[in-house]
Structure 1
Amino acid sequence: MQASRRSFLKGALGTAALAAGTMASIPAEAARAPKKWDITADVVVVGFGGAGATTAISAAQNGAQVVVLEKNPENHHISNTRMSGGIFHCPFKDGDKKALQDYAQAMFSGENIPWKEEGEIPESSVGLAKLWADLSPTNLDFLQSLDPAFIGGSQPGFNKASFPNFPGAKECKYNAYRATYLKRMKSFNDVSYGLPKEQTSSGEAFWQCLATGVKKQGKKIRVLWETPGNQLVKNDRGEVIGVIGLHKGRKVAVRARKAVVLCAGGYEYNKAMRQAFLEGPGVSGWAFYGTTSNTGDGISMGMAAGAGLCKVGKAAARVIVPTLDTCNGMRIGSITPSVGSPHSMVVDNFGKRYEAETKVTDNPSRYFFYKAAVQFDINTLAYPRTPSWMIFDETLRTSKPLVALGISVVGFGLTKWSKDNMSAINSGLVLKADTIEELAEKIKNHPDNKKRMVPANLVAEVKKFNKFCDEKKDEEFSRRPVTLGKIEKGPFYAMPLVAGGPNTKGGLLIDDRHRVLTWERKPIPRLYTVGEMASVLKFVYQGGGNLTECLVYGRSVGKEVAGLPNLKA
């Protein structure tokens, strides 16, 4: 197993290098048809994560021949789907369908909420919500049709509507499951990658189910590994008729008789896009804990073909630890579920608490807490919470890992973290001191703090926090009482936290059928997209939403494109 993990890490880093090279080479406009096509299929899908796999399966089930272009090598294939917690929505079938549509529309866009100033995607939210209401209650059925051994495990905290005050929240009987092949699911600290399918849980189990479904389609689906999509091809009528891919530096022209579907993920490791779209310091103030392969390729390809953009700065994000490992000059983050644990608190660069720490990991605030992290101080013209600092004591350090060890970047070998947390301390990522006063000085001297820490502030905050713990009531931010544990047993520690999460959500402009649109909201003929690069969850996000949209819209788009008439030569 150790040898396998080491080889996977080596391959993953190679994939990151491949991604960087691909990102730099994407042309600024769509290509003309080549004199000769290398491969022809009915449907061409770019990207082989959850969105791409579901779209390919659905298209094949509806009679289409499908070719998928995937930038990763087959033996080191990582995607946000595989690295995720494997949670997907599947509302109960006896819930009110109109209520489910209303709840979905509120999450996506919010214009059916009386106090909402403006809908995020008002032109398409009704149709998108209707598809969600029609298909999401059958998500588990669909997955079990691909593999009857697949189990939808109950996941407390996710099996209800995260926004109880939204229209339809009560009547729709919302529910979510966690993917597993085990009746007793693995914890998020137990690795599934590299194990037989029957021993997996979380995102790896979700992916193995989809992979089984792909295999069931036989020759109807062909995957071109190590072949990132590079350029869309248009004919004289403006229709998208294929894709130019790159395989080991050689161009591969793949023709689509019916349509092309972009499923290439977000732009988490595209430096220029992060600087252009993310709030706050887009590079140094952010980290992500999904695949390093997401470099905005599909967004660039779509723009070159004339696509408009929508809410590109949106992200499913909170505050997380940025590790010392990097990709494309940006730090790889790790999911950090320990924030808000007893014996810890979070302060800004000046040593002041600014929110109830449980909001970082609680539903639903966990997926937009980054808004608090990137607050801009209009008086100092600085970002006082970039980074923030998780202050904790020896009791927490010895009680559990600070990050998830079985999923995300640690579970897939992109970074390392020891169970006792000592690897992060020994590397200098986490600061250690015998007293709070000494810890404050170390934070002050950290290059990211820029001498802003006021030691007296931190000392006073810890004292006040401990008083709240004694009284079992956070008088300042109303943190959940059960999480209040004193910071009192030395040594003491400080871990940097920046905005970040699994993925970005904004990208290409789409209609309610997931057709890619121009800025004038005209469909680009025969071009569709599914997944994070055009997520429907533009307003708010409920945990598991990204996997859910893969299933819902991958199925709907796959069926639609399979039924299109063939393009004229």
Structure 2
Amino acid sequence: MTNISRRGFLKTSGVGVVATVGTFTAATASAQQQKWDKEADVIVVGLGGAGAATAITAADNGADVIVIERQPAATLRSNTRMSGGIFHCPDKSGNKAALKEYAKAMFSGENIPGKLEGEQPQVSDGLAEAWAEYTPGLLDWMKKQDPKFQAFATPGFKGAAFPTFPGAKDCGYQVYRSSYPDRIPAGFNTPCYNGPKEKAISGEAFWLCLDNGIKTRADKIKVDYETRGRDLVQNDKGEVIGVIAEQNGKKVAYKARKGVVLCSGGYEYSLPMRQAFLEGPGVEGWAFYGTTFNEGDGIAMGQKAGAGIMKAGKAASRIIMPAPVRHNGMRLGMITPAVGSGHAIVVNNYGKRYAAEHKVTKDPSRYFFYKEAVKFDIDKLDYPNSPSWFIFDETLRKSKPLVGLGISTPGYGFVDYGAADNSDAVKKGWILKADTIEELGKKIKAIKENGNKMDPAALAETVKNYNAACAAGEDKEFGRLKSTLQPVSDGPFYAVPLVAGGPNTKGGLAANAKREVLDWNLQPIPGLYAVGEIASALKFVYQGGGNLTECLVFGQVAGKEVAKQPNRG
């Protein structure tokens, strides 16, 4: 952050403001050398769903916008694009007051007796009001960006995920999946990254729709790719008036006449932020299946400008398969929808089941099942469920890929998983293989991350008991769904580690319902806004598709808010 008066700013170089910017050390220059390199009413940092919705809305409300995006245009891979393309759009006939209550329950839980974990009563009412106002119109809004865009209510992604929450019954909640074709293939195993638009589904379709919205406003929205935001500029009133960015190894100064909106995502691949914020083993105990370009840039920029932090440890996560591929020293994850399938169980490091496996991948628990992975045994001083182990048989191995091949890190070229029958992953050693369960237990025990904890006999007993439950048609121990009770009996047998992780982190900068970034006294920092994963509204619980939804909702909120601001000196 650079904090200078307007007069002082005129005495310094526009690309050499007195500050430390990333690896740059700025230098004082003469008044004659000083100037902003570029300027616009609004500067948006980051071109994912949040940045796109904000830029489109600001432009439609009369502002000219520059978006700076650190990735190249040709290979842009944001969390939005790599996602399942799922978003919420309640029926317009639903009760709006009920919808507001349901949203508030997800954001903070304050309207549910005894559930206050979200802890944001200062802002939750306004957030919920915006959710109720905008979400019923989101499909229409997307179609305005591209009339060819479609979305379908699909099995497994519809209705209120939390049916006991206030308002759930009457709010008409509905969830859609994005598409350009008239029919969406089952699963998420059709890669369409940079393919023909008419075949795009899931996050690719969602992104191409927004991208069309950006391109059709080229007279109002300019995008500078391969430009990484590094620092904010404040005047002597504390107002944010610009951004210092890095472009081709040089500093570029962007003046924001009305405001700066940070839409740069979470901190999934920032080593120090993961260590600082995440529960349990923050590095080896976690993996994420979104973009590696989310390194917490905007969070760091906001903090230097005086921003507070809210629920920074929150993540939309469950337990997933990590790949032996690293970025910034951390393993990349892969979305692992096979967990919870028949012919498979999940055990802890000691070979014991600890939960009904369907809870890993099904609502309402799938986006906070990671809490099971980071449970700490206060007697053993151990995380018994980190990693967990996905144990499965030959029937499952041959039937479908363990991971989503069309979205996530495999679908966007970060991870080369291989064949859909999982055979390549077995050959590469990503999946352990053994002829018996006892032998499989021994192989797990020999792996460093298991810490010599696995008891092969206990694992064999666990599988035996599970198979007996399958034969009986009831899992009395954990209550697993009967439709998934198929035995682990067809050898050879397989195992992969599962660690806490998912698409993204959610906690970060404190922000209010207008999406103004707040300081530690919960006062707005003038001229600074944040939208998306960098400051998610979903602080209590998370329903699948919630992050894309808040990109559209609060991108519109922030875009309108910043566009109406007076020009700042």
Question: TM-score if structure 2 supplies the norm length?
Answer: 0.94
SS at match of 1:464: helix
- 1:64 counterpart letter in structure 2: A
Given that 2:319 and 2:369 are in contact with CA atoms closer than 8 Å, whether structure 1 keeps it comes out as yes
Q: How does 1:87-166 map to 2 (within 5 A)?
A: 87-117=86-116, 119-166=118-165
- 2:89 counterpart letter in structure 1: C
Gaps of 5+ in 1: 1-21
- 2:144 counterpart letter in structure 1: S
Structure 1 runs (4+) deviating above 4 angstroms are none
Distance in structure 1 (CA, Å) of the matches to 2:55 and 2:116: 38
Tell me what 2:519 maps to. Answer: 518
Q: How does 1:290-309 map to 2 (within 5 A)?
A: 290-309=290-309
Distance in structure 2 (CA, Å) of the matches to 1:508 and 1:373: 25
Is 1:270–2:270 an aligned residue pair? yes
- 2:434 counterpart letter in structure 1: A
Distance 1:89 1:117, change over 3 A: closer
SS at match of 1:366: coil
SS at match of 2:312: coil
Deviation at 1:192, TM superposition (A): 1.3
Distance in structure 2 (CA, Å) of the matches to 1:131 and 1:106: 14
Question: What is the aligned length?
Answer: 543
- 2:121 counterpart letter in structure 1: P
Tell me what 1:386 maps to. Answer: 386
Distance in structure 2 (CA, Å) of the matches to 1:544 and 1:383: 29
Deviation at 1:26, TM superposition (A): 8.2
Note the alpha carbon deviations across 1:95-154, whole angstroms, 9 max, x for none: 000000000000000100012145421110000000000000000010001111110112
Given that 1:23 and 1:270 are in contact with CA atoms closer than 8 Å, whether structure 2 keeps it comes out as no
Deviation at 1:23, TM superposition (A): 10
Tell me what 1:424 maps to. Answer: 425
SS at match of 1:107: helix
Deviation at 1:374, TM superposition (A): 0.9
Tell me what 1:192 maps to. Answer: 192
Given that 2:108 and 2:116 are in contact with CA atoms closer than 8 Å, whether structure 1 keeps it comes out as no
Deviation at 1:158, TM superposition (A): 1.9
Gaps of 5+ in 2: 1-19
- 2:534 counterpart letter in structure 1: M
SS at match of 1:346: strand
Given that 2:153 and 2:174 are in contact with CA atoms closer than 8 Å, whether structure 1 keeps it comes out as no
Given that 1:363 and 1:542 are in contact with CA atoms closer than 8 Å, whether structure 2 keeps it comes out as yes
Q: Which moved more, 1:184-193 or 1:304-313?
A: 184-193
Distance in structure 1 (CA, Å) of the matches to 2:119 and 2:266: 18
Tell me what 1:46 maps to. Answer: 45
Distance 1:499 1:26, change over 3 A: farther
Given that 1:27 and 1:230 are in contact with CA atoms closer than 8 Å, whether structure 2 keeps it comes out as no
SS at match of 2:122: coil
Given that 2:117 and 2:540 are in contact with CA atoms closer than 8 Å, whether structure 1 keeps it comes out as no
Note the alpha carbon deviations across 1:49-76, whole angstroms, 9 max, x for none: 0000000000001111000010001111
Q: Which moved more, 1:111-120 or 1:518-527?
A: 111-120
Distance in structure 2 (CA, Å) of the matches to 1:374 and 1:258: 43
Deviation at 1:422, TM superposition (A): 1.5
Tell me what 1:558 maps to. Answer: 559
Tell me what 1:346 maps to. Answer: 346
Q: Which moved more, 1:178-187 or 1:436-445?
A: 178-187
Distance in structure 1 (CA, Å) of the matches to 2:485 and 2:478: 12
Distance in structure 2 (CA, Å) of the matches to 1:301 and 1:117: 29
Tell me what 1:11 maps to. Answer: none
Distance in structure 1 (CA, Å) of the matches to 2:245 and 2:107: 33
Given that 2:21 and 2:231 are in contact with CA atoms closer than 8 Å, whether structure 1 keeps it comes out as no
- 1:326 counterpart letter in structure 2: R
SS at match of 1:68: strand
Tell me what 2:234 maps to. Answer: 234
Deviation at 1:565, TM superposition (A): 1.0
Give % identity.
Answer: 60
SS at match of 2:447: coil
Q: How does 1:390-469 map to 2 (within 5 A)?
A: 390-417=390-417, 418-469=419-470
SS at match of 1:74: coil
Tell me what 2:356 maps to. Answer: 356
Question: TM-score if structure 1 supplies the norm length?
Answer: 0.94
Distance in structure 2 (CA, Å) of the matches to 1:292 and 1:562: 31
Given that 1:186 and 1:200 are in contact with CA atoms closer than 8 Å, whether structure 2 keeps it comes out as no
Given that 1:472 and 1:484 are in contact with CA atoms closer than 8 Å, whether structure 2 keeps it comes out as yes
Distance in structure 2 (CA, Å) of the matches to 1:333 and 1:560: 36
Distance 1:450 1:24, change over 3 A: farther
- 2:128 counterpart letter in structure 1: A
Deviation at 1:379, TM superposition (A): 0.4
Note the alpha carbon deviations across 1:308-355, whole angstroms, 9 max, x for none: 000000000000000011111100000000001110000000000000
Note the alpha carbon deviations across 1:243-285, whole angstroms, 9 max, x for none: 0000011000000000000000000000000000000000000
Deviation at 1:185, TM superposition (A): 1.1
Deviation at 1:35, TM superposition (A): 2.3
Given that 1:25 and 1:230 are in contact with CA atoms closer than 8 Å, whether structure 2 keeps it comes out as no
- 2:468 counterpart letter in structure 1: K
Distance in structure 2 (CA, Å) of the matches to 1:224 and 1:118: 39
SS at match of 1:345: strand
Note the alpha carbon deviations across 1:448-487, whole angstroms, 9 max, x for none: 1111001111010000000000011001000001101111
Given that 1:26 and 1:231 are in contact with CA atoms closer than 8 Å, whether structure 2 keeps it comes out as no
Tell me what 1:375 maps to. Answer: 375
Distance in structure 2 (CA, Å) of the matches to 1:561 and 1:510: 14
SS at match of 2:512: coil
Distance 1:488 1:23, change over 3 A: farther
